């Protein structure tokens, strides 16, 4: 009986182990492994803002085709079969001996009608304006894609920072536990006092608190990254990159500003908008000019489709020129002139903003680069201080207050280095964004590549 029970217990253990292994396998299969490059590309592909930008491009292209259609041939078909009678007196005829009513009689006509604008400068300039608007929309979409990619990069790096801070918190906690154990042992040996033990326990509790806070920060950072990627918030994410020192040389400031003025999509979009406003203004001015249109029609005409059926046609050239419409055309021209002036002001403001963005990002990049160097040196010194303080305490030369202070110093140095590395990565993202150099797809070199 006992053997049967043992076998049953053994089978249960095997079953639960297999269940745990299966859950782990499913979890691993559903996890999403991402590099920084892949995260940026995924955000651009999935995020709502990117989808809206693509929709605006489609809408702009449809408007362009609508303007183009007004300059293309217009072909239509018309037909009618009519039975009617005519009152001659209603037409102004009152002749003696003629009947008042004529009919009823049948009439039939069918024709293919063609019209074509031959000369209309206003329509041509409206078409040019729609082409510039399409280009502006595409450039604005590029700006949106770059911002979405940058936001994903921020979230990715912040998650790396949070995980690095979590590792730092774990290291600080384990170091505090070692000090607490050492203080307890030395108190038993009569070397340390109860104050030393309580001080060590307080430090351990504090680092345990910090560890829990970092675990929460990692969870929050993961959620923010998933939101930035536009994916399900229950999807586990595995980051395949870590925070490392960047050795990329920093470009010259003047070259960076010039590069930004040639590449920044917001600036290029503003220039396209100004060109569109110029075309609209010219279209309003050309509205005073005559327009020429050719029209033609051909088809059968008769009593019915089979009685007295003859083919007839008409063709002609029509000229139209506005003379006076209550000042509406002049008012539209004034509106277009005002919109052009606003576009010029907006362009000047964006140029100044681009200059400012590059300068601020450049300064932040240099600052964070220096901060990484100082943080690395500070961590080395803090590690040396920790080792020396620990040796002094073990040898009974000093109490553990010196070790606790050294622990605090090394904890701050570790956190400082984590933040400095993350800040340098974010500074590069901001610098690339300020220059319009964020890359977010394989066809676009894949990532923010710090040109």
Q: Do 269 and 305 share a domain, yes or no?
A: no
Distance of CA 436 to the CA centre of its chain: 13
Alpha-carbon distance of 418 to 43, in angstroms, equals 25
- Specify whether the CB–CB gap between 378 and 355 falls below 8 A: no
Residue pLDDT, tens place only, 433-450: 999 999 876 445 333 444
Q: Do 131 and 231 share a domain, yes or no?
A: yes
| Residue 58: predicted pLDDT | 96
Q: Do 81 and 221 share a domain, yes or no?
A: no
Overall average pLDDT of the 374-382 stretch: 93
Q: What domain range includes position 168?
A: 35-71+120-287+327-444
Q: Of 274, 304, 321, which residue sits at a domain end?
A: 321
Q: Do 151 and 206 share a domain, yes or no?
A: yes
- Specify whether the CB–CB gap between 448 and 439 falls below 8 A: yes
Q: Do 250 and 353 share a domain, yes or no?
A: yes
Overall average pLDDT of the 6-25 stretch: 49
Q: Kindly tell me if the per-residue pLDDT of 9 is higher than 70.
A: no
| Residue 188: predicted pLDDT | 81
Give yes or no for a cis peptide into 104 (omega within 30° of 0): yes
Q: Do 393 and 252 share a domain, yes or no?
A: yes
Residue pLDDT, tens place only, 150-165: 999 999 999 999 999 9
Q: Do 132 and 84 share a domain, yes or no?
A: no
pTM: 0.81
Alpha-carbon distance of 363 to 19, in angstroms, equals 55
Q: Do 134 and 224 share a domain, yes or no?
A: yes
Overall average pLDDT of the 414-421 stretch: 91
CATH code for the domain of 93: 2.20.200
Q: Do 113 and 245 share a domain, yes or no?
A: no
Alpha-carbon distance of 361 to 363, in angstroms, equals 5
At 140, list the tokens. 């604005």
The DSSP bridge partners found for residue 178 are none
Q: Does residue 397 sit in helix, strand or coil?
A: coil
Q: Do 308 and 222 share a domain, yes or no?
A: no
Alpha-carbon distance of 221 to 161, in angstroms, equals 9
Alpha-carbon distance of 152 to 38, in angstroms, equals 10
Largest CA distance in the chain: 147
Q: Of 321, 339, 364, which residue sits at a domain end?
A: 321
* The total number of structural domains that make up the chain: 2
Q: Could you tell me if residue 10 is inside a domain?
A: no
Angle of helix 400-435 relative to helix 194-229, nearest 10 degrees, comes to 20
Q: Do 241 and 97 share a domain, yes or no?
A: no
Q: Do 411 and 271 share a domain, yes or no?
A: yes
């Amino acid at each position: 009986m006992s053997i049967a029970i043992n076998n049953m217990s053994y089978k249960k253990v095997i079953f639960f182990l297999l269940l745990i292994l299966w859950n782990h396998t499913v979890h691993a299969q559903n996890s999403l492994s991402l590099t920084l490059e892949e995260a940026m590309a995924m955000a651009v592909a999935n995020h709502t803002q990117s989808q809206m930008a693509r929709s605006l491009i489609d809408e702009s292209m449809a408007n362009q085709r609508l303007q183009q259609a007004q300059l293309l041939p217009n072909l239509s078909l018309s037909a009618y079969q009519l039975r009617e009678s005519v009152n001659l007196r209603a037409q102004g005829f009152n002749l003696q001996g003629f009947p008042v009513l004529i009919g009823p009689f049948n009439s039939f006509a069918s024709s293919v009608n063609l019209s074509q604008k031959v000369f209309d400068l206003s329509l041509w300039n409206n078409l040019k304006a729609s082409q510039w608007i399409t280009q502006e929309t595409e450039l604005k979409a590029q700006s949106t894609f770059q911002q979405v990619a940058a936001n994903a990069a921020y979230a990715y790096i912040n998650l790396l920072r949070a995980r690095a801070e979590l590792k730092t918190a774990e290291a600080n906690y384990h170091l505090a536990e070692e000090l607490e154990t050492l203080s307890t042992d030395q108190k038993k040996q009569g070397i340390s006092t109860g104050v030393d033990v309580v001080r060590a326990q307080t430090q351990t509790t504090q680092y345990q608190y910090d560890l829990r806070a970092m675990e929460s920060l990692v969870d929050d950072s993961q959620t923010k990254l998933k939101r930035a990627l536009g994916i399900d918030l229950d999807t586990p994410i595995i980051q395949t990159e870590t925070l490392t020192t960047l050795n990329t040389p920093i470009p010259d400031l003047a070259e960076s500003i010039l590069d930004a003025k040639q590449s920044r999509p917001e600036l290029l979009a503003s220039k396209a908008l100004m060109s569109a406003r110029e075309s609209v203004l010219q279209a309003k001015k050309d509205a005073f000019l005559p327009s020429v249109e050719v029209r033609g029609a051909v088809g059968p005409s008769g009593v019915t489709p089979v009685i007295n059926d003859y083919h007839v046609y008409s063709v002609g050239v029509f000229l139209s020129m506005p003379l006076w419409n209550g000042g509406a055309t002049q008012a539209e021209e004034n509106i277009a002139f005002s919109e052009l002036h606003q576009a010029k002001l907006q362009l000047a403001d964006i140029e100044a903003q681009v200059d400012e963005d590059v300068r601020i990002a450049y300064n932040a990049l240099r600052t964070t680069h220096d901060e990484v160097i100082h943080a690395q040196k500070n961590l080395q010194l803090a590690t040396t201080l920790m080792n020396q303080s620990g040796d002094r305490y073990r040898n009974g030369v000093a109490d553990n207050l010196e070790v606790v202070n050294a622990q605090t110093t090394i904890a701050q140095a570790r956190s400082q280095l984590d933040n400095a590395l993350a800040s340098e990565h974010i500074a590069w993202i901001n610098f690339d964004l300020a220059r319009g150099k964020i890359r977010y797809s394989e066809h676009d070199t894949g990532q923010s590549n710090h040109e």
